[in-house]
């Protein structure tokens, strides 16, 4: 929905690339942290994900420097000493008539400024010593999207709030994270440190009301939960996943209420800086194989400039593939060992960004670490045209795992495509 401040907001987004990100977030929260229809979204502002996650000024914030034990349920809650964090839910659902759907519900927190040191005078003040009930150092936003495969529809929405007056926040026990009326909250007693989670989000054309359950404890990603994004110390996140959640509930499309079941995936990360200079975005895959295994893979793309040739993308050595066994054990594989090839491409008619749209992923060998998978999006257009423009969509896969035939459902996220000076999507092989 258009608003009269759209050009002004776009200017602020450009300033984000030179240090104006905090101003953009604060302004968006002030403008949109008001009573409004749930389906309202921020106008597309061309904010770069890579710029937002480089965090050139890390002073006053904690950084992810070494592995640390996860503590549950505490780590399901917020970590305000770090600049950014997110609670990321994606899933594939089926209705009783066989129709297929995907959903995404993500909650983001970002700090406008670090808090005062523990025990310092004025530490209880919400922001800069100010005592207004509206004052805050924390801005929250959430993305909600639904893919209707049979109807060839993709619906995406965004909400922004400040962490003040109960408008947004996160609590560890009982678990709850919310941005306005959109929320994920505990729906029963904990199992292995994680409660069932009730997801609720809605807009005029779509809504979900789902309960997600798991029987396994959270899976630490990377080095015991430390997930490096480049060779520079501190360019990392603390990262764990709930990679196989059983989902059940209802999906509303327009006036149609559909009982649905399926599987979901939750990712949790917090950090102060992630991407290094020269890294332009990433390709992330979360695939749930029908033999009980999961594959998580991310390719961190960095720009490589060839003399007398345009910039092309190559994978940062920190890129990683992780195989997760049915009992939660993980096997880490450097992405350099994986043959990663885009098989098709799609150009957004709205943003003109060109994305890969189909992949062939192969890890040669024998045994449970070997796989050969062809991945296809349920529909090509799953681009979120919100303040951060990116492609996040439901996919299906087929091929072999450990020498046996498998199929898979999952999600893929593509960021940095179409940003200024970013190489266009093209058929490529990473790390070779």
What's the DSSP call for residue 132?
-
Mean pLDDT, the chain, whole residue set: 83
Strands (E), 254-388: 256-271, 279-289, 294-304, 312-315, 320-324, 330-334, 339-342, 345-347, 354-356, 359-363, 371-377, 383-385
Cβ-contact 90, 265 below 8 angstroms = yes
Q: How many CA atoms lie within 13 A of 147 on its CB side?
A: 29
Whether the ω angle into residue 294 lies within 30 degrees of 0, i.e. cis, is no
Residue 263 has pLDDT above 50, yes or no: yes
239 contacts: CB under 8 Å, gap ≥ 6: 220, 221, 222, 225, 226, 227, 267, 268, 269
User: What pLDDT does 116 receive?
Assistant: 59
Q: At what angle do helices 21-32 and 6-15 cross, to 10 degrees?
A: 150
User: What pLDDT does 150 receive?
Assistant: 96
Cβ-contact 277, 301 below 8 angstroms = no
Residue 20 has pLDDT above 50, yes or no: no
Q: What is the pLDDT of residues 325-383, one digit of tens each?
A: 999 999 999 999 999 999 999 999 999 999 999 999 999 988 899 999 999 999 999 99
Which domains are seen in the chain, by residue range?
A: 6-113+134-414 (2.40.370.10)
User: What pLDDT does 335 receive?
Assistant: 93
For 89, list phi and psi in degrees, rounded to 5: -115, 130
Q: 5 vs 26, which has greater pLDDT?
A: 26
């Amino acid at each position: 929905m258009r608003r009269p401040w759209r050009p002004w907001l776009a200017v602020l987004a450009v300033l984000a690339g030179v240090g104006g990100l905090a101003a953009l977030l604060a302004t968006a929260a002030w403008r949109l942290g008001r009573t409004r229809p749930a389906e309202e979204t921020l106008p597309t502002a061309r904010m770069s994900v890579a710029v937002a996650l480089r965090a050139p000024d890390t002073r006053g914030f904690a950084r992810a420097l070494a592995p640390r034990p996860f503590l549950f349920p505490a780590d399901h809650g917020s970590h305000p000493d770090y600049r950014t964090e997110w609670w990321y839910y994606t899933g594939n659902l089926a209705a009783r008539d066989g129709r297929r759907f995907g959903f995404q519900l993500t909650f983001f927190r970002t700090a406008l400024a670090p808090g005062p040191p523990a025990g310092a005078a004025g530490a209880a003040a919400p922001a800069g010593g100010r005592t207004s009930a509206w004052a805050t150092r924390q801005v929250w936003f959430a993305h909600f999207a639904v893919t209707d495969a049979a109807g060839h529809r993709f619906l995406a929405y965004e909400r922004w709030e400040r962490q003040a007056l109960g408008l947004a926040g996160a609590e560890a026990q009982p678990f709850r994270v919310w941005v306005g009326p959109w929320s994920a909250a505990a729906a029963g007693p904990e199992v292995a440190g994680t409660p069932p989670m009730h997801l609720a989000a809605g807009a005029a054309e779509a809504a979900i009301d789902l309960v997600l359950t798991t029987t396994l404890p959270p899976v630490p990603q990377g080095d015991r939960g430390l997930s490096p994004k480049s060779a520079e110390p501190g360019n990392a996140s603390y990262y764990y996943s709930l990679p196989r959640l059983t989902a059940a509930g209802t999906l509303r499309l327009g006036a149609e209420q559909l009982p649905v079941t399926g599987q979901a995936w939750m990712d949790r990360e917090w950090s102060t800086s992630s991407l290094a200079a020269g890294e332009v975005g990433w390709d992330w895959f979360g695939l749930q194989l029908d033999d009980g295994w999961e594959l998580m893979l991310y390719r961190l793309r960095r720009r490589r400039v060839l003399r007398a040739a345009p910039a092309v993308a190559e994978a940062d050595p920190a890129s990683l593939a992780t195989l997760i066994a049915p009992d939660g054990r993980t096997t880490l594989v450097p992405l350099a060992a994986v043959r990663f090839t885009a098989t098709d491409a799609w150009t957004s008619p709205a943003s003109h960004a060109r994305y890969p749209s189909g992949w062939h992923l192969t890890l040669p060998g024998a045994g449970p670490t070997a796989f050969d998978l062809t991945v296809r999006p349920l529909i090509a257009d799953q681009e979120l045209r919100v303040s951060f423009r990116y492609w996040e969509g439901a996919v299906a896969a087929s091929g072999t795992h450990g020498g046996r035939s498998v199929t898979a459902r999952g999600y893929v996220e593509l960021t940095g495509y179409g940003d200024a000076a970013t190489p266009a999507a093209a058929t490529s092989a990473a790390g070779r």
